[in-house]
Amino acid sequence: MTIGFEIGACDGTARFGRVITAHGNFATPAFMPVGTTGTVKGMTPEALAKCGAQIVLANTYHLMLRPGAERISRLGGVGKMMAWPGPILTDSGGFQVMSLSKLRELSEEGVNFQSHIDGKRELLTPEKSIEIQRKLDSTITMALDECTAFPLSKTLTEESMGLSMRWAVRSKEAYLARSGYGLFGIVQGGMYPELRAQSVASLVETGFDGYAIGGLAVGEDNELMHEITAYTASRLPVEKPRYLMGVGRPSDLVDAVVSGCDMFDCVLPTRSGRTGQAFTWNGVVNIRNSRHKDDPRPLDETCKCPTCLGYSRAYLYHLVQAKEILGVILMTWHNLYYYQALMAGMRFAIRSGELKSFRSNFTNRQKQGDIKPL
Amino acid sequence: MTIGFEIGACDGTARFGRVITAHGNFATPAFMPVGTTGTVKGMTPEALAKCGAQIVLANTYHLMLRPGAERISRLGGVGKMMAWPGPILTDSGGFQVMSLSKLRELSEEGVNFQSHIDGKRELLTPEKSIEIQRKLDSTITMALDECTAFPLSKTLTEESMGLSMRWAVRSKEAYLARSGYGLFGIVQGGMYPELRAQSVASLVETGFDGYAIGGLAVGEDNELMHEITAYTASRLPVEKPRYLMGVGRPSDLVDAVVSGCDMFDCVLPTRSGRTGQAFTWNGVVNIRNSRHKDDPRPLDETCKCPTCLGYSRAYLYHLVQAKEILGVILMTWHNLYYYQALMAGMRFAIRSGELKSFRSNFTNRQKQGDIKPL
């Protein structure tokens, strides 16, 4: 009565595996493109699938406000609505309630907030979040938590984590188990390893189908983020998928995979696609730079995405300058393809026991930087 | 040393045919999607081809200013740059110089104008326009003309048409004939049949590979537009393609095909796609109307486009409300597909000698209007 998780190979603490769901399977380590309002900005579902994406994330906060959970339910769920045939993971809505809504008030019960769209007041509780995600027909449901602020004292972090753990228990109780569907709990505890360990113990006691690491990439430095990630991942049950939330840059993904994380999401490839930034095996390319004006070469000569196979930097520069939609489409397409290629590369490296050399090759190429201007 | 034009069947004055070019062939009557700046807004070239488009129009005025004719030439032409493998028709730039640029001054020599992008002064002459279109590697080049204002006295219309005819001669002289490439002249003469006839005679005397009807859809009523179109088309040489510029709505296309026009372009399907308006066999659907909020049905149940095959009105309503790029993509895709399906339907009807019944069925269904709300 849950999702399945099969580990096919390990390389150090890194794992190659497969999550089996009611909406199809996905290979791990997996990157989930973010489909905020029920669409990955600028991409058709066919294009997403061609990038290699096997699971998509959607945001409960956005969807509950517009078009609304009831309406989506009547349309058969968010996957059906957006014509994405594969698994969908939805967040709990908690993170965006705190970051996007107005006049929010946190209590033991939940979060009372005002919609950023129409100003309507709503109460989001663990039970409500679970109910909404069920209406969305989410393959993987996330428990409601409070994403702890940074920096924050140990005492306040402990209080916040405690609330998240009580909410996790309520989420589990409210959740209706179904075959091929799963519920994930979220580890909090800020930058304090001791609190992270307590949070892990509490969640494992409650029992979830997978465990997420939350409260990171919130402003702390990179080294600290990876320390906390590695520490937390090492304490999580081996037999369940581990999801590092909201992370991150390509190098972050490599580091976190090495630490044993299996699932990721981040708006970076899509958002950067809309601002003219491309991720490549040779680092970041800013297509707005006038050095690309006459460059007939693709973003990345080794990339097999439709953008790199079909279009020059000069054309992309022109499209972005002229604010053409196709510029957003092609840049996003490349970035998502690159992220998926990176994950596929890591999956292959883990199976071959060569993740270490993959990582050093990756780092070297990133350091080399972009090709020289013509 | 030109393009070919084969007429396969006639039905009254309507013709079914094929234009043979250096970049591939296209069936007529043909609708050309407008790729203003070297991209049909919101569409990849693959998507365009899947809609059934076989030739694309690009705007010389936009492209000469940005990214510039020299740059496009170095990239191998506009088709190569935008990864469109088929034929490209470019306009002369004249129409948009007059409608978009500032401080324009018309003289016998050409039009002196200020770029709407950077304010730079430029002179567009018939020779310059031909040269730019050669750099763009346009399959079909249009002669520079003055699009006569409306309403305008007969005397002033005659003067304007006379200038266009002298420019047509200069365009022909400047044009370098190449195998599979063609040059079209443009009939002017406003709403005066006598002047239209003079203009046709003058252009035929000069000799072109095809003839366009310009200066229509400029504010005159619909009946007058179709009278002038039919009159002009009837006087044009049978053996050359006839291109009605900038027209129009689906019903306009049907009327003009009946009158013997072979080629069309219009921003309507793409522009309407960005404002939430869909063209269907049952007339126009405004997807912003809240009646669609919960409607699980497609825009048009008889349409085979990816939008209608995959997505509900409710989802399209949501995407357009949320200002999501995918809303623009899907609405544009549907509209372009519908326009191409309409042309394909007319081509089939002409070959079957059934254009009359096609037209009456078309008109009846348009009049029926949209399906009832659920």
Q: Does A39 touch chain B (CB under 8 A)?
A: yes
Of A294, A321, A325, the CB nearest to B328: A325
Helix (H) or strand (E) holding A121: strand A121-124
B91 catalytic residue (yes or no) = yes
Q: ipTM value, please give it.
A: 0.97
Helix (H) or strand (E) holding A272: helix A268-274
- Helices and strands of chain A, counted as H and E runs: 15, 16
Q: What is the mean pLDDT of residues B82-94?
A: 97
- pLDDT tens string B173-212: 999 999 999 999 999 999 999 999 999 999 999 999 999 9
Q: If you search the block for the tokens 């407008």, which residue do you land on?
A: B34
Does A39 contact B324 at a Cβ distance shorter than 8 Å? yes
Does A326 contact B296 at a Cβ distance shorter than 8 Å? no
d(CA B159, CA B152): 11
> In chain B, which residues have their Cβ closer than 8 Å to the Cβ of A334?
none
Nearest CA in chain A to B332: A325
Q: What is the 3-state secondary structure (H, E, C) of chain B?
A: CCCEEEEEEEECCEEEEEEEECCEEEEECEEECECCCCCCCCCCHHHHHHHCCCCEEECHHHHHHCCCHHHHHHCCCHHHHHCCCCCEEECCCHHHHHHHCEEEEECCCCEEEECCCCCCEEEECHHHHHHHHHHCCCCEEECCCCCCCCCCCHHHHHHHHHHHHHHHHHHHHHCCCCCCCEEEEEECCCCCHHHHHHHHHHHHHHCCCEEEECCCCCCCCHHHHHHHHHHHHHHCCCCCCEEECCCCCHHHHHHHHHCCCCEEECCHHHHHHHCCEEEECCEEEECCCHHHCCCCCCCCCCCCCHHHHHCCHHHHHHHHHCCCHHHHHHHHHHHHHHHHHHHHHHHHHHHCCCHHHHHHHHHHHHHHCCCCCC
Examine the pLDDT at B103 and tell me if it is beyond 90.
no
Does A324 contact B44 at a Cβ distance shorter than 8 Å? no
Query: What is the model's pLDDT at position B181?
Result: 98
Q: Does B71 touch chain A (CB under 8 A)?
A: yes
Q: Does B339 touch chain A (CB under 8 A)?
A: no
- Which residue in A291, A312, A316, A329 has the most chain B C-beta atoms within 10 A of its own C-beta, making it the best mutation to test that interface? A329
**pLDDT tens series, chain A, 374 aa:** 899 999 999 999 999 999 999 999 999 999 999 999 999 999 999 999 999 999 999 999 999 999 999 999 999 999 999 999 999 999 999 999 888 877 889 999 999 999 888 889 999 999 999 999 999 999 999 999 999 999 999 999 999 999 999 999 999 999 999 999 999 999 999 999 999 999 999 999 999 999 999 999 999 999 999 999 999 999 999 999 999 999 999 999 999 999 999 999 999 999 999 999 999 999 999 999 999 999 999 999 999 999 999 999 999 999 999 999 999 999 999 999 999 999 999 999 999 999 999 999 999 999 999 999 99
Q: Please identify among residues 205-224 of chain A the ones whose CB lies closer than 8 Å to any CB of chain B.
A: none
Q: Does B17 touch chain A (CB under 8 A)?
A: no
- Which residue in B65, B325, B333 has the most chain A C-beta atoms within 10 A of its own C-beta, making it the best mutation to test that interface? B325
- pLDDT tens string B273-305: 999 999 999 999 999 999 999 999 999 999 999
Of 3.30.2350.10, 3.30.1490.20, 3.20.20.70, 3.20.20.105, the CATH number of B4-266 is: 3.20.20.105
Q: What is the mean pLDDT of residues B165-177?
A: 98
- pLDDT tens string B304-337: 999 999 999 999 999 999 999 999 999 999 999 9
- pLDDT tens string B118-152: 889 999 999 999 999 999 999 999 999 999 999 99
Q: Does B321 touch chain A (CB under 8 A)?
A: yes
Q: Does A115 touch chain B (CB under 8 A)?
A: no
Specify burial of residue B68 (Cβ count, 10 A radius: 0-12, 13-18, 19+): middle
Does B329 contact A42 at a Cβ distance shorter than 8 Å? yes
- Structure confidence at residue B117 as a pLDDT band (50, 70, 90): confident
Q: Does A50 touch chain B (CB under 8 A)?
A: no
Of A66, A310, A314, the CB nearest to B321: A66
How close does chain B come to A325, measured CA to CA in Å?
A: 5
Nearest CA in chain A to B329: A42
How close does chain B come to A179, measured CA to CA in Å?
A: 26
- Which residue in B73, B324, B333 has the most chain A C-beta atoms within 10 A of its own C-beta, making it the best mutation to test that interface? B324
Q: Looking at chain A, which residues constitute the CATH 3.20.20.105 domain(s)?
A: 4-266
